[in-house]
Amino acid sequence: MNSGISRRSVLTGLGLAVIGASRVFAQDRISVLHEKPVPASDVPADAITVEIDKMKYQTPEVTIEAGDTVYWINREVMPHNVAFKEGIVAEGAFRGEMLTKDQAYAITFTEAGSFDYFCTPHPFMRGKVIVG
């Protein structure tokens, strides 16, 4: 379930805030810079991005290196997110915040592997991040 993750993330966030670290929270195989979505204009120009539009992840499969960060940017008003089933990026399930139009969400992949994801309210929307 998700509640455990978000509770832990809040606690971690508080702890890290005190010591001034940059990561909001870390799962087993990913870490997330900002728990809340950020404006698309904040996405670095050289970032690895997956645009979301017309009920699809426009790049359904991206291949990156361990330590790279992927930014998902929603380009339509239909809200979407990035979610992983149990056991994919952590023991539990992981559910990213919903993005509205021109909002972005970043995930840093810390371990090699193949990570299937989906959109929580639209389970027919699926994608994959391959970490080499």
Closer by beta carbon to other proteins, 71 or else 118: 118
Tokens standing for 43? 């996405």
In the chain the beta strands, taken as DSSP E runs, fall at 25-26, 30-32, 38-39, 48-53, 56-57, 61-64, 69-74, 83-84, 94-95, 103-109, 113-119, 122-131
Q: Is 119 in the site for Cu ion (CB under 5 A)?
A: yes
* Site of interaction with other proteins (CB under 8 A): 83, 85, 93, 118, 120, 123-124
Closer by beta carbon to other proteins, 25 or else 118: 118
Closest CA to 93 of 64, 116, 110, 60: 116
Minimal distance, residue 115 CB to other proteins, in Å: 14
Rounded-to-10 torsion of CA 54, 59, 65, 67: -10
Q: Is 56 in the site for Cu ion (CB under 5 A)?
A: no
Closer by beta carbon to Cu ion, 92 or else 96: 96
User: Could you give the string, one character per residue 61-100, with x where binding to Cu ion holds by CB under 5 A and - elsewhere?
Assistant: -------------------x--------------------
